[in-house]
Structure 1
């Protein structure tokens, strides 16, 4: 059986739930025929740190505005604390993790919009060490902190970061989020979504805020990867097992 590479994006809420990440890493331990790269955010941890430091958090179109003076806290929370919490749980589950930023994972960042401050958008820099690490049997755990060619640091949306890494690796992509699936107007799970359906649901205000960013990013990734991208819940590790075995759980986003 040929080895498949999967990029799994974990939402920051995983870190707030005891042993949630370990349960997912335990699932990965049983998958001998697959290789994995973990990409993570950590929004709630960032919120806590900024609040403790006396900063107000503001968002614009679902993305956190990241002024330069807040970046040491954002970088510390994401690339430091959140990353190392996941490394700790991966070690506990028997993996050999390596904590990375986007730069080492082959993704450069540049300013997205002046209004957002140090919020970055992704471009591939074709200079990734991820495949080397996978060949060594290591588990890359990548925070969504990026750098540009001048070494300026950026806060990158973790969904976009995961999509960029999956594209670099031509890998399958799963977004493990707080919900089972994308929901319709009646709060029922949608098992499959394509461009037309997504546009309609956004226009009708059914998909909005953070989920709109996630769905648009998934769609963009699906178009780029020319395959389905999955949105599922981290709260049910068995969902991850099912997805890795080719079963259909959560929402599959197709071009």
Structure 2
């Protein structure tokens, strides 16, 4: 019986909070009968790098418009600084991380929409080194930077990247986000969401922006994986422990 694999998506905000990632890595280090793959974003870091370089940041339906001339900064922030900061925190706890882009992880990218510039969508291929790394006891930490067959660089939404990764590995999927759960109109946590419920909340303007992308991506992943996908808060490492032990915390998105 092979151990269970979990893909855990960490939002960029984890990097802005001292030792937040370290606390999560400590939880993972204590789990002996599971394997983990980390997929991360770094939106706030990208924002500050672009601002310092004199670029304006724009979003379209929750996705960052990524013109070619901004890509060196986006790649540097995500695949460089954010990835290595996470590696550093993982190493300090005792993990043996390997920093990767989506390409090595068996995901190629292609342009999503011309209007978004170098924003990529994911395509799974069988050419991944993730299982080899897991077998070798390493912790893959994957930035959401992708390449196409011609070697062009793409900025992929990290939630979508994590969903593609989970489908590639047929793994369980957890989105660690800034909020405890998806909230209803009265700002109360929703423990379970399905297609109909999600459509209604989006139509009513309750779920908007980045959370809309996250929820739609979770639903798409849940349909694809044929199992529930979890949205929970990174601010409470104990939530992660509970999720890994099969308890229900945060929001479970089901097809």
Q: TM-score range by the shorter chain?
A: over 0.9
Establish whether residue 215 from structure 1 lines up as the match of residue 227 from structure 2.
no
Q: Deviations over 1:118-160 (max 9, x none)?
A: 0000001210000000000000000000000000000000000
Give the Cα separation in 2 of the matches to 1:208 and 1:48. 23
Provide the residue aligned with 1:37 in structure 2. 37
The equivalent of 1:174 in structure 2 is 174
Aligned-pair Cα RMSD in Å: 0.6
In structure 1, the residue corresponding to 2:131 is in which secondary structure?
A: helix
In structure 1, how many angstroms separate the alpha carbons of the residues matched to 2:9 and 2:90?
14
Provide the TM-score with structure 2 as the length reference: 0.99
Residue pairs, 1:182-197, within 5 angstroms = 182-197=182-197
**Pairwise mapping of residues 80-91 of structure 1 onto structure 2 (< 5 A)?**
80-91=80-91
Which residue does the alignment assign to 2:149?
Answer: 149
CA deviation map 1:24-81 (0-9, x unaligned): 0000000000000000000000000000000000011110000000000000000000
2:149 and 2:2 mapped to 1: Cα distance? 36
For each residue in 1:72-95, what CA deviation from the matched residue of structure 2 results, as whole angstroms up to 9, or x when unmatched?
000000000000000000000100
Structure 1 residue 168: Cα displacement: 0.3
The total of aligned residue pairs comes to 255
Match of residue 73 from structure 1: 73
Q: For residues 1-255 of structure 1, what are the structure 2 equivalents within 5 Å?
A: 2-255=2-255
Stretches of structure 1 lacking an aligned partner (at least 5 in a row): none
* Counterpart Cα distance in 2 of 1:233 and 1:205: 22
**In structure 2, C-alpha distance between the alignment counterparts of 1:122 and 1:103, rounded to whole Å:** 10
Distance 1:206 1:99 in 2: 36
**What is the alpha-carbon distance in structure 1 between the residues aligned to residue 204 and residue 90 of structure 2?**
41
**Unaligned stretches of 5+ residues in structure 2:** none
